[in-house]
Structure 1
Amino acid sequence: MAAAARVTLADVYRAHERIMPYIHKTPVFTNATFDKLIGRNAFFKAENLQKTGSFKARGALNAVMSLRERNANAAGVVTHSTGNHGQALAWAAQTVGLKCAVIVPRDTPQVKKDAITSYGAELVLCEPTPQSRQETCQRVAEEQGLEFVPPFDHHDVIAGQGTIGMELLKQAPDLDAILVPVSGGGMASGIAIAAKAMKPDIKIYLVEAEGKMCEKSLRAGERLWPNPPRFLNTIADGIRMQHLGHLTFPILVDLAEKDVFSISDADMIKGMKFAFERMKLVIEAASGAAVVAAMSDKLAAMDKDMKNIGVILCGGNVDIDKLPWY
């Protein structure tokens, strides 16, 4: 899709109207202990409580419903995913009665593989490399006549994820900034589009796993990553994509802050533990990254007038038999 077809707030509103009968309007939580710890007010958008356990349900359902509107005879959909988008697309396809196939790396947590198949999707395993994911997905799409719905680089997916930002600002209208975990950038782009349109002075900060190079890319104005592309070595399987997307990158260059929070696995565990122990919320490592970014010295050193911080808890799909601190 051409960059000229950038998602707008109107697209996000249409996505909201389309998907709201089927998804949860997730709650926003606060925690007095956390606020005292960081010296600001934090508002946690609990997408870990969303359908399929992550924010991905929004974009996947909007994409599938939009496909059905365009082509009533569509054979089905296919995607490649580390788990959350795969689960979401499988659920969305089941919701509207479409066939779905999901390509996942062999090392994807079993809990996510089981969830994908529980929604009736065909599970196809590939090697844990971006190239293998793409090649396997293309082969399955051609063999079965399925439409590819990518995890992030898709107009309808971005618009669906943007409903998070729209909801959050209605629930917490005084936000000064939002911390968003980022992999390919679909959620971050959607939230940035919606939030900046509704409140132009709000700041959108990306939260990445160490090694992603988002800050260098945003400051350089070009997508930077190792050649060949690879996945990051991180416990946060939901944000291990090495680079931002073709569609999402220019959006984030325009709308996100150039300061990026780069989080280690050890710190993600700290964020997860805080949510588990003090908030009684099950979150995955990618969500833990956003929590600990709000606790970081980097945020502490920023503008003290930035009083109210949104924190996106993007998912809660963890294998409870393999928690990362054991």
Structure 2
Amino acid sequence: MAKDGVGFNEVLKALQRISNFIHKTPVITSSEANLRTGRKLFFKCENQQKTGSFKTRGALNAVLKVKETSSSCPGFVTHSSGNHGQALAWASRVAGLPCYVVVPSMAPEVKKSAIRGYGAQLVECGHLPQDRYDTCEQLQREKKLEFIPPYDHFDVIAGQGTISVEFLEQVPDLDAILIPISGGGLSSGIAIAAKAIKPNIKIFLVTPKGKKMEECLRTGKRPWDGPPQYLNTIADGIRLQQTGYITTPILTELAEKEVFEMEEQEIIDGMKFAFERMKVVIEAAAGASVAAALSDKLRAMDPLMVNIGVILCGGNVDIEHLPW
């Protein structure tokens, strides 16, 4: 079953393409989390993936696909608040091709330093969301680069979907998966593959306050069709108000209409729980999914929904500026 050009076959091809280069990330449990929720929680540790986030899967799949099909690619360019930029920089290095990453000047320094460390040319832009698009477009035009966007791209989505294949091999009895969402590449890929493997599995999206994702899922309209804008949240990895033109219809069809919209303090508490009780380092976007898993909202749901997967999407934390 293909969704807007991405189907399970594309996910399986992506897994074959990237599996020799990435980690098969572990799944961990927490007896304290299970006790609090009355469920069995399974945390997929993409915070331990290459470059510190799931973004590596999609970026590498897209880069290697271009290299397979084009003998004259001069390099890659993207815009990113951090994690996708790191992932594309690393993937380009794997492919032996140049990479340029446009990053807003206020992005965490730990992420900017990592992008440079993976060998990419970092290009800083203004703080407005449109600035990154304009700068990226100029670079693409001037240097004839291949643009790999952070989420709204068939090969990126297919790469992120490889998480589902691993996760459902590791925990076949999952009843639901909680996924933090920004543009929707991660959740779209996971939904496509998970539903293909296990049609009755439930896909729940996790957002900061203000994204209006429930309205999007019920109407099929993107949360915001104007110029790109950010939510006011500590979770910089899921700050984007919009979902994508490709990802929105996928999620409208495959995700549950009920969304976990988390307060800032809940996100912080989710991070703290992971640090203190689970002994894993996660960034705020992953803190949102932990918070959703521990929430009253989940406890109030169908008691037959027992085995819950939680995506720990990234671990690139600026330890000099923790949110607490």
What is the TM-score of this pair, normalised by structure 1? 0.97
2:193 maps to what in 1? 194
1:153 aligns with 2:152: yes
Give per-residue Cα distances to partners, 1:68-116, cap 9 Å, x unaligned: 0010220000000000000000000001101000001110000000000
1:104 maps to what in 2? 103
2:65 maps to what in 1? 66
Deviation at 1:226, TM superposition (A): 6.9
Q: Matched residue of 1:102: which SS?
A: strand
Deviation at 1:223, TM superposition (A): 1.1
CA distance in 1, matches of 2:265, 2:86: 27
CA distance in 1, matches of 2:67, 2:259: 37
1:261 maps to what in 2? 260
Unaligned runs of 5+ in 2: none
Letter in 2 for 1:248: T
Deviation at 1:187, TM superposition (A): 0.4
Deviation at 1:298, TM superposition (A): 1.1
Letter in 1 for 2:100: A
| 8 Å CA contact 2:140, 2:147 repeated in 1 | yes
Distance 1:268 1:4, change over 3 A: closer
Matches within 5 A, 1:1-326: 5-225=4-224, 227-325=226-324
Give per-residue Cα distances to partners, 1:27-47, cap 9 Å, x unaligned: 000011110100000000000
Deviation at 1:227, TM superposition (A): 3.7
Deviation at 1:48, TM superposition (A): 0.1
**Structure 1 residue ranges, 4+ long, deviating more than 6 angstroms after superposition:** none
Letter in 1 for 2:47: N
CA distance in 1, matches of 2:56, 2:196: 23
Letter in 2 for 1:6: G
Deviation at 1:5, TM superposition (A): 4.3
Letter in 2 for 1:316: G
Letter in 2 for 1:107: M
Task: Give identity over the alignment, percent.
Answer: 61
What is the TM-score of this pair, normalised by structure 2? 0.98
Q: Matched residue of 1:319: which SS?
A: coil
CA distance in 2, matches of 1:129, 1:315: 24
Q: Matched residue of 1:44: which SS?
A: strand
CA distance in 2, matches of 1:169, 1:259: 22
| 8 Å CA contact 2:116, 2:122 repeated in 1 | yes
CA distance in 1, matches of 2:35, 2:16: 37
| 8 Å CA contact 2:286, 2:312 repeated in 1 | yes
Distance 1:8 1:93, change over 3 A: same
Q: Matched residue of 1:42: which SS?
A: strand
CA distance in 2, matches of 1:224, 1:288: 22
Letter in 1 for 2:49: Q
CA distance in 2, matches of 1:286, 1:270: 12
| 8 Å CA contact 2:286, 2:314 repeated in 1 | yes
CA distance in 2, matches of 1:248, 1:8: 13
Q: Matched residue of 2:76: which SS?
A: strand
CA distance in 2, matches of 1:4, 1:218: 16
CA distance in 2, matches of 1:291, 1:186: 19
Letter in 2 for 1:71: S
What is the root-mean-square deviation in Å for CA atoms of aligned residues? 1.1
CA distance in 1, matches of 2:35, 2:72: 55
Unaligned runs of 5+ in 1: none
Deviation at 1:128, TM superposition (A): 2.2
CA distance in 1, matches of 2:287, 2:166: 21
CA distance in 2, matches of 1:260, 1:105: 29
Deviation at 1:129, TM superposition (A): 2.3
CA distance in 1, matches of 2:277, 2:3: 45
Give per-residue Cα distances to partners, 1:154-208, cap 9 Å, x unaligned: 0100000000011101100000000000000000000000000000000000001
CA distance in 2, matches of 1:226, 1:297: 32
Deviation at 1:4, TM superposition (A): 7.0
Paired residues in the alignment total 323
Deviation at 1:122, TM superposition (A): 0.5
CA distance in 1, matches of 2:71, 2:267: 43
CA distance in 2, matches of 1:25, 1:139: 36
Q: Matched residue of 2:141: which SS?
A: helix
CA distance in 2, matches of 1:284, 1:228: 27
CA distance in 2, matches of 1:140, 1:161: 26
CA distance in 1, matches of 2:36, 2:224: 35
| 8 Å CA contact 2:103, 2:125 repeated in 1 | yes
Letter in 2 for 1:82: S
CA distance in 2, matches of 1:96, 1:274: 38
Deviates more, 1:50-59 or 1:228-237: 228-237
